[in-house]
């Protein structure tokens, strides 16, 4: 299967990254230089438009742009907007999938959700009918709603608290829900409500549908900033240990499976194009955030609200592609970044 192949590449990449770090380490000056260059080169990019199917996202200032690298030992290199809290949206998905892995092991994700990319839009309902597994993978809406329903919880409150606490373990700080985003998203969640009910009908949802929908929508409405997002990625780059707190959030042996899913489905139906040009496991969200992971080395996070037609931040994907190609850190060798 495609994910098992990527896992093999990732395991090799972890070893290669460790060897490369010893042989030719990237200097602090190099990190800051590429961050500054990426910010300067793409800050005036005018392409894309804010998401508006969640009405409040259209009101986020579209000119904001931030770029952050955090290394596996917690060193921070940044440029642009760092403190503005935006809604995490789909960037939350792999981290809740990691909670399921931590509670039940990677097999539960494969057997109860799935790990194959859909090749369709992230909110596709057609995919539920075409694919026998229905939920397909945890980085599309169907699989992410199924992941929330799989959290081992005694109540809706407990389910939500576990989801929130897990993401806080990755960011290393307390987080809050942007209630205006939640209200706007939940009030217009007819498509996701249909997905939840279809999953329940097919036996691929593991809690009451509306409960899963509420917790999932609240998860997507968590407020984070660019630094938070980079710390989340740096935790995965550091083999599941948060560089700031030293807390193990995900067992080391589960990290390759999670990164494999990010590599094959993190950019939705543009994931193949992303891996071709940047070569890094990543996750994007319609709130404008992107996080990419260089296993064993560092993470790159960006925030910029204008999206391309696939739902990916235009400035963000260009900035991360530039950093990846300039530093030569793509998993399969240096990408041209074109």
The annotation places the binding site for substrate at: 90, 141, 185, 192, 216, 268, 286
Out of 93, 112, 283, 297, pick the active-site residue.
93
Q: How far apart are CA 153 and CA 224, in angstroms?
A: 24
Residue set of the binding site: 90, 141, 185, 192, 216, 268, 286
Out of 34, 78, 87, 90, pick the active-site residue.
90
Q: Are 8 and 123 in contact (CB under 8 A)?
A: no
The angle formed by the CA atoms of residues 326, 329 and 330, to the nearest 5 degrees, is 105
Out of 3, 163, 286, 294, pick the active-site residue.
286
Please say if 318 is a catalytic residue: no
Please say if 93 is a catalytic residue: yes
79 by DSSP, 3-state: which? strand
Q: How far is CA 314 from CA 49, 92, 306, 307, in A?
A: 9, 19, 6, 5
Q: Are 147 and 100 in contact (CB under 8 A)?
A: yes
Out of 216, 221, 291, 304, pick the active-site residue.
216
Please say if 216 is a catalytic residue: yes
Please say if 182 is a catalytic residue: no
Q: Are 172 and 244 in contact (CB under 8 A)?
A: yes
Q: Report how far Cα 250 is from the mean position of its chain's Cα atoms.
A: 15
Q: How far apart are CA 51 and CA 96, in angstroms?
A: 23
Q: Are 21 and 297 in contact (CB under 8 A)?
A: yes
44: number of Cβ within 10 Å:
9
Out of 268, 283, 325, 329, pick the active-site residue.
268
Residues designated as active site:
90, 93, 216, 268, 286
């Amino acid at each position: 299967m495609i994910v098992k192949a990527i896992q093999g590449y990732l395991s090799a990449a972890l070893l290669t990254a460790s060897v490369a770090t010893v042989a030719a380490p990237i200097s602090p000056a190099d990190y800051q230089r590429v961050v500054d260059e990426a910010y300067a080169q793409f800050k005036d990019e005018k392409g894309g438009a804010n998401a508006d199917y969640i009405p409040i996202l259209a009101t986020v200032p579209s000119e904001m742009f931030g770029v952050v690298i955090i290394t596996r030992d917690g060193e921070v290199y940044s440029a642009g907007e760092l403190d503005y809290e935006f809604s995490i949206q789909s960037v939350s998905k792999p981290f809740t999938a990691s909670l399921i892995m931590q509670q039940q092991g990677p097999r539960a994700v494969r057997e109860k959700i799935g790990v194959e990319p859909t090749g369709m839009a992230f909110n596709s309902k057609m995919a539920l009918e075409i694919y026998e597994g229905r939920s397909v993978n945890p980085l599309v809406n169907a699989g992410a709603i199924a992941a929330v329903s799989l959290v081992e919880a005694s109540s809706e409150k407990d389910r939500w608290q576990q989801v929130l606490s897990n993401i806080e373990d990755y960011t290393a700080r307390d987080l809050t829900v942007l209630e205006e985003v939640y209200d706007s998203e939940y009030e217009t969640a007819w498509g996701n409500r249909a997905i939840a009910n279809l999953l329940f009908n097919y036996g691929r949802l593991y809690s009451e549908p509306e409960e899963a929908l509420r917790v999932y929508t609240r998860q997507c409405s968590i407020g984070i900033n660019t630094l938070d997002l980079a710390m989340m990625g740096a935790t995965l780059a550091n083999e599941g240990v948060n560089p700031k707190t030293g807390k193990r959030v995900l067992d080391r042996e589960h990290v390759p499976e999670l990164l494999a899913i990010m590599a094959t489905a993190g950019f939705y139906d543009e994931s193949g194009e992303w891996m071709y040009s940047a070569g890094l496991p990543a996750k994007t969200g319609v709130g404008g955030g992107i996080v990419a992971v260089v296993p064993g080395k560092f993470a790159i996070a960006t925030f910029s609200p204008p999206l391309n037609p696939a739902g990916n931040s235009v400035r963000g994907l260009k900035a991360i592609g530039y950093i990846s190609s300039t530093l030569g850190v793509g998993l399969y060798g240096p990408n041209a970044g074109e």
